[in-house]
Amino acid sequence: MPAGLFATCLVNIARPQIGLAAAKTLDLAGADWVFPRGQTCCGQPAYNAGFRAQAAAAAAHCARVFADCEKVVVPSGSCCGFLRKHAPGLADVAGDSVTVLAAKCMELSEFLLEKEFVPPPRKTPLAAAFHDGCAGLRELGIKKGPRKLLAQAGVTVSDIPECEVCCGFGGAFAEKFGGISAALADAKCENILAAKTNTVLAGDAGCILHIEGRLSRLRKPVQVLHWAQALFDSGGETNG
């Protein structure tokens, strides 16, 4: 059975470049993979808003879509964290399929490391500073994996100060509590500027759009990429 790539909503709509980079790593890793067309949202937004039945329905749909996949590869710590750690708790409504799905879900770096993937070295040098997304870090224990892959690709990776502190995104939180969320983002931006870097790397489109959006509003010329994009000179968007 092939592995299934789960785009996640934010990547699909707002940052497909991350998905292209992830796809490229899967190809280079020699993985047998598919992109199931029926995929939609994992259900996390409804879950965190307290709408348990709706979250269960979305998670069960996700389980159906990936039923024929051996693994589900997710380039996002929070969507993967939801499916793996929280969705099984919805089995009373969603049925056992969500428990089966949970066991199959892997964050991209976990899958690549299991495949013993070694990225080819970049041609152009890149120095970047890492921000650890909360869900990936605390729900899945993602920390060293992406850094290892980046180092193998020749990226010089440092940590931004307080790299494990939340950037303030929190899904609907950023909309419901825009001011508080911005205050958290400001603390993050200060640390990024203190790191004196041109490139920030993270593992979640949520954090990426949020940090980059605040930096842009503050007119700070720092780019924010998914770590998978940084593995390639072209950001993974072309075959170059």
User: Where do contacts with other proteins occur on this chain (CB under 8 A)?
Assistant: 7, 9, 11-17, 19-20, 23, 34-35, 37-41, 43, 45-52, 54, 57-58, 61, 65, 134-135, 138-139, 164-166, 168-171, 173-185, 187, 209-210, 212-214, 216-217
Q: Which of 217, 222, 214, 221 is nearest to 184 (CA)?
A: 214
From CA 4, how far away is CA 74, in angstroms rounded? Answer: 9
CB closer to other proteins, 125 vs 179: 179
- For the bound state, the minimum distance from the C-beta of residue 210 to other proteins, rounded and expressed in Å, comes to 7
Per the rule left: phi > 0, alpha: psi between -120 and 50, beta: everything else, 157 is beta
Shortest Cβ 151–other proteins spacing (Å): 26
State the nearest-atom distance from the C-beta of 181 to other proteins, in Å: 7
Q: How far is the CB of 194 from other proteins (least distance, A)?
A: 13
Q: What is the smallest separation between the CB atom of 197 and other proteins, expressed in angstroms?
A: 18
d(CA 174, CA 190): 18
Q: Which is nearer to other proteins, 33 or 111 (CB)?
A: 33
Between 154 and 171, whose beta carbon lies closer to other proteins? Answer: 171
147 to 116, 118, 128, 167, 192: CA distances (angstroms): 14, 12, 11, 19, 17
Nearest by Cα to 29 from 64, 61, 73, 66: 73
Nearer to other proteins, 86 or 104 (CB): 86
Q: Can you read off the two tokens belonging to residue 101?
A: 């799905």
Nearer to other proteins (CB atom), residue 94 or residue 116: 94
